Structure 1
Amino acid sequence: MSPPKQPCSLFQLCVKSSIRLINSACYVIEKTYPENHLNECEREAFDLKCHLMTMLPARLFDVLCSERTCCQYRGDPRIQLQVLMHPNITVFRKCDLDNGIPQRFWQGTLATFSRLRVLDLKFICTDEILAVIGDSCPLLEEINIVSRVDICKSLFNASVLIRNVSDAGLCCITNLKHLRVLAMDPPRNERANRIGRCVSRAGIIMLIRELPYLEELRIESCDIGSTLIGSTVDVGPLNLRKMICHFASADGVRKLIKICPCLKEFSLTHITEHNKDAILDQISMSELRLHKLDLSFFSFTDSMQQLLTVKGSYLTHFSLWEIDNSLNLDKVVSIGKCCPNLTSLCLMTQSKCLHVPRYYRRPDKIFSELRNLILGNENFCIDRMLTFFLECTSNLEKLVLKYQTKTNLDDTLLHLLEKGHLKNIVDLWLDCTLEVSKNVVKRTIQMCDRLQLFTVDFADTTTELLQYITENNLDLKLGSY
């Protein structure tokens, strides 16, 4: 049966209790003074902070700030923050309640926090705030500077989004030499007319050239790989470890590998070049030792086989969206033989050649380390394909099945349960096309001792199952469509 919910630890109870007491004290202070007595209110909040600082270790303030959402403050969040933010705080992540706080509060507050290592200012960041961060927080290793977005009414459009971080703000943080992870806005579309500030591709290139230890650049919907390839200035070598690249060519990939020789995670997708084998050959011939490789809209050719033969021993995560519909069992077995250390595998294909013969004898020691499996197809026999993979590993923790044809999965699930193939499963996600009866859902919950996430579509109401989960105090989230 799914694991029971565990009671909160004594430490968690203490943190929640402390936040409640602090919130109550802050609310009393806030309501004691009218708006025209702001100085007295701030002074009393400061006195409360000093009292807490004498009683609690500095690192505990990191925890209290991170757990603010467990007991939401019903007043002005600035009062609560004024009390909870210790001068030696190392981690601060804003919550949704902070979005409405004026910019000048952040400028004044962040100027005093010189020991910050992690800072998340998503949706509240501006150039002015970045200027303060650049001067006051030299030890930052991770930062989210996705900008505040304002909405401006226009005579021509219903509304226009205005961002508040520009290349000028990026220049302010070039001296944060310890940055390893950076999340930020995508660059503006050069052909679009925008109002307000925006970052440009040139600004992004300028910034990452100044950050020697940057390992991960998170920019939503931005092809940073192509941005680096197309740069008109010399870039690299960079310390980036993760890269997503769209619309790449073989020459572009060769240049990108030279710019980012330390890549560990590489994703290639939306490839328009006809000769994709040349791209795979560039990876094969490089010195890269990739841990994660995602290939979308590729074919399993001889070049793919060569790539896995040469680099497969380093891979722990491999994803293939195959497009020529020729993937067969021999090629799947080849993936297992070439990549003995795989812990995560994703195979998406429409191939009609992928099937397991009735008396097939699978090779030993393939996919034995697999923890996460994603399969997507509408042509293979689910029962045989799943049995093939689940007989290879006894450690599977996450299983995702994507299918395009209505199929009843009752018999398959019962067979896998009886064989003990799902005994270690923690997360089971079944496409809405896969029909499962209420009784089989309940049986799955009963026989999977570690199951905590279960997404499944079934016609019956979930009320009875949710009641069963509650009555048995199970630590299980049951999702449906």
Structure 2
Amino acid sequence: MSPRKQPISLFKMCVKSCITLINSACYVIEKSYPENMFHECERQAFELKCYLMSMLPVRLFDVLCSERTCCQYRGDPRIQLHVLTHPNMTVFRKCDLDNGIPQGFWIETISNFNRLAVLDLKFICTDEILQVVGISCPLLEEINIVSRVDICKSLFNASVLIRNVSDAGLCSIANLKQLRVLAMDPPRNERAIRVGRCVSQAGIIMLVSELPYLEELRIESCDIGSTLIGTAMEIGPLSLRKINCHFASADGIRKLIKICPFLRELSVTHVFEHNKDAILEQISMSDLRLNRLDLSFFSYTDSMQQLLCIKGTYLTHFSLWEIDNSLTMDAVLSIGRCCPNLSSLCLMTQSKCLVIPRHFRRPEKIFSELRNLTIGNENFNIGHILTFFFECTQNLEKLVIKYQTNINIDETLTHLLEKGCLKNIHCLWLDCTLEVSKDVVKRIISTCEKLQMFTVDFMEEMNDVHKYINENNLDLKLGTY
């Protein structure tokens, strides 16, 4: 059966106990002074901090501050933060309770964080705060500057969301030359520029050009590749390791590779009928040594075969969303031969040609390193395909099955269980179109010794299954849709 829940470590127990005691002391200090005596309250909190720093290692404060949400503080979070922060901190991540703290507090506090390597300001960041960060935190390697969002009621429209980080804020942190990871807001279109502050594509280009060690740029719902390709400025080479590029062209990919020659993870989406092979050929001809390649709305053509033959030995993650319904078993075997180091594979296809021949003999040493498998969407025999992959690898840990048509897979799962194929599975995600009976769900839970995440559409009432999980103290999250 699934593994048992283990007791929390002695270290975590000590951290939780420390935070509980500190919270109690902070609450007593806070309630001892009215609001007009806040400075006296602040002085008392500072004395408590000095006492704790004389008793506890400095690095423990990083842990206490990061784990402070394990025991909710009943009072003003500024008091707790005042006690748990200090000038030698290397990591600070805000929590949801911090969103209501006024900007002035952050400006005053962050100005003392001269040794920070990691700073998370998600949903509290403003240009004014970034001005302080740029001056006071020269050692930063990772920062999240997703803006604070204010809501303004418009006379003409519904409520308007106003952001508080603009290109001016980006200019403030351009001198943080050690930055490796940056998370931020997407650029706004011209109409949105009229409402509040915003970052622009030009501002993003300026910033990445100024950061010599930036490896990862996290911008939600933003086509970073097209942003870099579309600039008229001469930029690069950049140190970026991860890029997503939608509506790509061959010329665009060639320019992107020139701008980012150190890419390790590339995601390309192409929805046009022409030029797909040319895109693949540009990647093949490049000097890139990609570890991860995600291709959406492509076909398995000779150009893709050539790409995998040339670059496949470097790949540990490969994802293909194939749209011409032409994926065959020979193509799957070719992926296995060309990419011997794959640990993660995602194949999405509607192909009716993905069929295992009647007297098929599986080649040796293909997909032997596979740990994560995602497969879908329709028109192939799930049982045959899963059996093939499980015969290739004994170490599959995560299995995701997506399907567009309702189908009962009790027999398939039972067959896999009887063969011991699921013995190393940690996570099993079954699409809501896949019908699984309660008896098979129970059997999976009782048979799979490493299963900790299980998502399945409940066809029947499952209270007794949840009761079984709780009574046996199983470390298993059983979810549905």
Q: What is the TM-score when the length of structure 1 is the normalising length?
A: 0.99
Q: Secondary structure at the match of 2:318?
A: strand
1:303 aligns with 2:297: no
Indicate the residue corresponding to 1:70 in structure 2. Answer: 70
Inter-CA distance 427–456: structure 2 relative to 1 (3 Å threshold) = same
CA distance in 2, matches of 1:191, 1:284: 40
Conserved in 1, the CA contact under 8 Å of 2:86 and 2:112?
A: no
Indicate the residue corresponding to 2:218 in structure 1. Answer: 218
How far 1:273 moved relative to its partner?
5.6
Q: Secondary structure at the match of 2:478?
A: strand
Inter-CA distance 298–431: structure 2 relative to 1 (3 Å threshold) = same
CA distance in 1, matches of 2:456, 2:330: 31
Indicate the residue corresponding to 2:122 in structure 1. Answer: 122
Indicate the residue corresponding to 1:158 in structure 2. Answer: 158
Matches within 5 A, 1:144-183: 144-183=144-183
CA distance in 2, matches of 1:44, 1:302: 72
How far 1:357 moved relative to its partner?
2.4
1:258 aligns with 2:255: no
CA distance in 1, matches of 2:136, 2:272: 45
Indicate the residue corresponding to 1:38 in structure 2. Answer: 38
Conserved in 2, the CA contact under 8 Å of 1:248 and 1:273?
A: no
Indicate the residue corresponding to 1:368 in structure 2. Answer: 368
Indicate the residue corresponding to 1:342 in structure 2. Answer: 342
CA distance in 1, matches of 2:357, 2:330: 11
CA distance in 2, matches of 1:321, 1:394: 25
Conserved in 1, the CA contact under 8 Å of 2:187 and 2:198?
A: yes
Matches within 5 A, 1:222-233: 222-233=222-233
Indicate the residue corresponding to 1:52 in structure 2. Answer: 52
Q: Secondary structure at the match of 1:150?
A: strand
CA distance in 2, matches of 1:39, 1:198: 35
Percent identical = 78
* 1:31 aligned partner, one-letter code: K
Q: Secondary structure at the match of 1:46?
A: helix
CA distance in 2, matches of 1:356, 1:29: 72
* 1:286 aligned partner, one-letter code: S
* 2:246 aligned partner, one-letter code: H
Q: Secondary structure at the match of 1:294?
A: strand
* 2:299 aligned partner, one-letter code: S
Indicate the residue corresponding to 1:451 in structure 2. Answer: 451
How far 1:392 moved relative to its partner?
0.3
Q: Secondary structure at the match of 1:376?
A: strand
Provide structure 2 residue ranges, at least 5 long, that are not aligned to the other structure: none
Indicate the residue corresponding to 2:199 in structure 1. Answer: 199
Indicate the residue corresponding to 2:381 in structure 1. Answer: 381
Q: Secondary structure at the match of 1:244?
A: strand
Indicate the residue corresponding to 2:28 in structure 1. Answer: 28
Q: Secondary structure at the match of 1:198?
A: coil
Q: Secondary structure at the match of 1:174?
A: coil
CA distance in 2, matches of 1:384, 1:228: 44
Indicate the residue corresponding to 1:186 in structure 2. Answer: 186
Indicate the residue corresponding to 2:391 in structure 1. Answer: 391
Indicate the residue corresponding to 1:429 in structure 2. Answer: 429
Q: Secondary structure at the match of 1:161?
A: strand
CA distance in 1, matches of 2:410, 2:471: 25
CA distance in 1, matches of 2:30, 2:427: 45
How far 1:360 moved relative to its partner?
1.2
Q: Secondary structure at the match of 1:318?
A: strand
Indicate the residue corresponding to 1:18 in structure 2. Answer: 18
How far 1:359 moved relative to its partner?
2.8
CA distance in 1, matches of 2:137, 2:271: 40
How far 1:272 moved relative to its partner?
2.6
| 1:329-356 superposed Cα distances (whole Å, 9 cap, x missing partner) | 0000000000000000000000001111
CA distance in 2, matches of 1:84, 1:461: 47
CA distance in 2, matches of 1:39, 1:258: 56
Matches within 5 A, 1:271-420: 271-272=271-272, 274-420=274-420
Indicate the residue corresponding to 2:476 in structure 1. Answer: 476
* 1:36 aligned partner, one-letter code: N
How far 1:191 moved relative to its partner?
4.2
CA distance in 1, matches of 2:410, 2:461: 17
Pairs aligned (count): 481
Conserved in 1, the CA contact under 8 Å of 2:296 and 2:321?
A: yes
How far 1:358 moved relative to its partner?
3.4
Inter-CA distance 269–448: structure 2 relative to 1 (3 Å threshold) = same
| 1:444-468 superposed Cα distances (whole Å, 9 cap, x missing partner) | 0111111000000122112111100
Indicate the residue corresponding to 1:268 in structure 2. Answer: 268
Conserved in 1, the CA contact under 8 Å of 2:291 and 2:315?
A: yes
CA distance in 2, matches of 1:47, 1:174: 36
Conserved in 1, the CA contact under 8 Å of 2:270 and 2:298?
A: no
CA distance in 2, matches of 1:338, 1:433: 33
CA RMSD of the aligned region, Å? 0.8
Conserved in 1, the CA contact under 8 Å of 2:270 and 2:276?
A: no
CA distance in 1, matches of 2:272, 2:182: 29
Conserved in 2, the CA contact under 8 Å of 1:249 and 1:273?
A: no
Q: Secondary structure at the match of 2:169?
A: helix
Inter-CA distance 117–75: structure 2 relative to 1 (3 Å threshold) = same
Deviates more, 1:206-215 or 1:405-414: 405-414
